[in-house]
Amino acid sequence: EAGVTQSPTHLIKTRGQQVTLRCSPISGHTSVYWYQQALGLGLQFLLWYDEGEERNRGNFPPRFSGRQFPNYSSELNVNALELEDSALYLCASSLGLGQQDEKLFFGSGTQLSVL
Amino acid sequence: GESVGLHLPTLSVQEGDNSIINCAYSNSASDYFIWYKQESGKGPQFIIDIRSNMDKRQGQRVTVLLNKTVKHLSLQIAATQPGDSAVYFCAEAGSARQLTFGSGTQLTVLP
């Protein structure tokens, strides 16, 4: 069974540009989470989607946004990129609300570099 | 100017020794706890989890201990191997059913 897949694996952008990152959850999982991990630091929660709805949002500016599609895949959009947005962006999936299983399964991430 | 950042706690152990990684959690209502291992350049991988109705749970070479009285979680790795070198994260979940991650500990296994 395929795990969580993310694309692209690496991305280089310049300040002010916009970027879209993509994530496909494990088959049967309805929840998708996005995290930002700056180099050498911990996981900062960005967004949580379940069944197409945004369930929670971390302490990030509005230029970070996303959505979840009917097939449960998800996109993370970042507008007006800043240098400090350079990080590993991790997507994770879980069985979803109501399943009483909070365990997250992570993808390998998208490494974003903003120059 | 001075840069301010959060540096990961580090733990160094000799190959073959046992490792103990500690985690303090803040929410007394949390009832689910989990440990992840993150190797360089990869996403976190599930190691072991435990619910609040248990004090101890064992896996292959790993044991998680939960002390709800002092809100403390620990991960014990037996006979630590070079492949165990990684960053280890603990996480907790409460009524919101969403995991909150700790800051992580960098484990280095010395030859």
**A10-59 confidence digits (pLDDT tens):** 999 999 999 999 999 999 999 999 999 988 788 999 999 999 999 999 99
Position B77 scores a pLDDT of 98
What is the chain A residue with the closest CA to B32?
A102
How sure is the predictor about A1, in pLDDT bands with cuts at 50, 70 and 90? low
Say whether A103 and B7 touch across the interface (CB within 8 A). Answer: no
Integer Cα distance of A68 and B32 in angstroms: 26
User: Residue B30 contacts by C-beta under 8 Å, 6 or more apart in sequence?
Assistant: B52, B92, B93, B94, B100
Position B61 scores a pLDDT of 96
Q: From chain A, pick out residues whose CB is under 8 angstroms from the CB of B49.
A: 103
- Give the least confident one: A86-90, B89-93, B98-102: B98-102
Q: From chain B, pick out residues whose CB is under 8 angstroms from the CB of A45.
A: 100-101
Say whether B49 and A103 touch across the interface (CB within 8 A). Answer: yes
Q: What are the structure tokens assigned to B94, written together? A: 């409460």
Position B4 scores a pLDDT of 37
Phi, psi of B30 (to 5 degrees): -65, 135
Nearest C-alpha of chain B: how many angstroms from A56? 9
Say whether A42 and B34 touch across the interface (CB within 8 A). Answer: no
Say if residue A67 is exposed, middle or buried (CB neighbours under 10 Å; 0-12, 13-18, 19+).
Answer: middle
Nearest C-alpha of chain B: how many angstroms from A40? 7
Q: What is the pLDDT of residues B3-53, one digit of tens each?
A: 333 457 899 999 999 999 999 998 888 999 999 999 988 999 999 999 999
Position B6 scores a pLDDT of 47
Q: Which helix (H) or strand (E) holds A26?
A: none
**Residues facing A64 on adjacent strands:** A78
Integer Cα distance of A80 and B65 in angstroms: 45
